[in-house]
Amino acid sequence: MTTSDATQIHTSDVKSENAEAVSIAAALRQEYLKEILAGNRKTALEIIMDAYRGGYPIPGIYVDVFQEALYEIGRLWETNLITVADEHMGTAITQYVMSNLYQHLEIADKHRGKLVMTGVQGELHQVGANMVSDVLEADGWDAMFLGTNVPTDGVITRIREHKANLFGISSTMLFNIPKVVQLVETTRNEFGDSVRIILGGGAFRTLQKLPAELEGCIVAMDLREALDMTRW
């Protein structure tokens, strides 16, 4: 895939519009999920690299395969059909596969702005934030991914140093929402409206009502929305 092709990446490409594409995505995801739950790191990587070499765009792999597989892992854990060790393994293998895929990521020519992305303090799940960072980077954002569980003052420093105009916060666990609120309030106190805030992660998918303190933030329920909502 060329760089000019990459600049044409639209959510429609990522969405896999027709039924056949949806079916291919579903089959790929099922196969991938089976391998990561079995702990087959090498097979999982081969499946993804084969898909990429076969023309599947990387952002599409993130959206259709990794994201959905990890949501399914979360659901399987919540319903006690897999253990926390299985969940860790699935996540760890996905991070390993992502790190191998990253070197092939084509970056769009468009320069959208500067992003700092992090998981909230106390949040040990970082793969979601990592995915958003990679996908937005491919879409033209100058992305700095801090990892997760970074102390607030460190995050604020990085936003300042990177001169970010977009700050992304990920939270997988619902119990970390109060910390998201604190981080958003601190960010607003420091930067006012000059830094827009995008929120995402499993916690927001579960939340029935957005806390009032988070009104005004962009809330993306998945990677597709994160892409759509940051193309202003």
Partner 1 sequence: MNETKHTTLMDSLKEAIREQHARMEALPFIAELTNGQLPLESYVGQLRAMAVIQSTLDHELAQLNAGELRTLLLGRPSRLAHLRKDLSVFDKLHIPDIEAALGHTRTIAERIRRYRVEQPNDLLGIQYVLEGTTLGNAVHLPDILRTFGSQTSGTAYYYTGYGDRTAEYWQEFCVAMNALHINQDECARLIQVALDFFDELAALFSTFYPLQNQEMIYTAGMLNPEAGDHPVPNDVREIEAAVTAARKCREEFPYFDERYQERGRSFAKSDAAWLTTLSELPGTQLLNQVEWLGRVLGNRGMPRITLERQLELLYEELVAIVPEKTDHYSGLLEAAESLKRERLHHIPEPVFTDLAREFHLATDGELQGRLRRTGDLIVSAVCDQAAGISEAVTSLLTWLTDPERFSPQWFEAVSNTLNKAQKSVNGNA
Would you tell me which residues interact with partner 1 (CB under 8 A)? 39, 41, 78-81, 84-85, 88-89, 92-93, 96, 122, 124, 149, 173-175, 177-179, 206-209, 211
Q: How near is the Cβ of 85 to partner 1 at its closest, in Å?
A: 4
CB closer to partner 1, 39 vs 113? 39
Residue pointed to by tokens 């990387």? 58
Q: How near is the Cβ of 31 to partner 1 at its closest, in Å?
A: 18
CB closer to partner 1, 211 vs 216? 211
Q: How near is the Cβ of 39 to partner 1 at its closest, in Å?
A: 6
| Structure token digits, residue 150 | 């970074």
CB closer to partner 1, 158 vs 205? 205
State whether the Cα torsion 114-218-71-75 is positive or negative.
positive
Q: How near is the Cβ of 41 to partner 1 at its closest, in Å?
A: 6
At position 38, the amino acid (one-letter code) is A
The DSSP line for 129-162 is HHHHHHHHHHTTEEEEEEEES--HHHHHHHHHHH
At position 213, the amino acid (one-letter code) is E
The DSSP line for 164-181 is -SEEEEE--SGGGHHHHH
CB closer to partner 1, 47 vs 108? 47
CB closer to partner 1, 126 vs 230? 126
- Answer left, alpha or beta for residue 186, where phi above 0 means left and psi between -120 and 50 means alpha: alpha
Q: How near is the Cβ of 213 to partner 1 at its closest, in Å?
A: 10
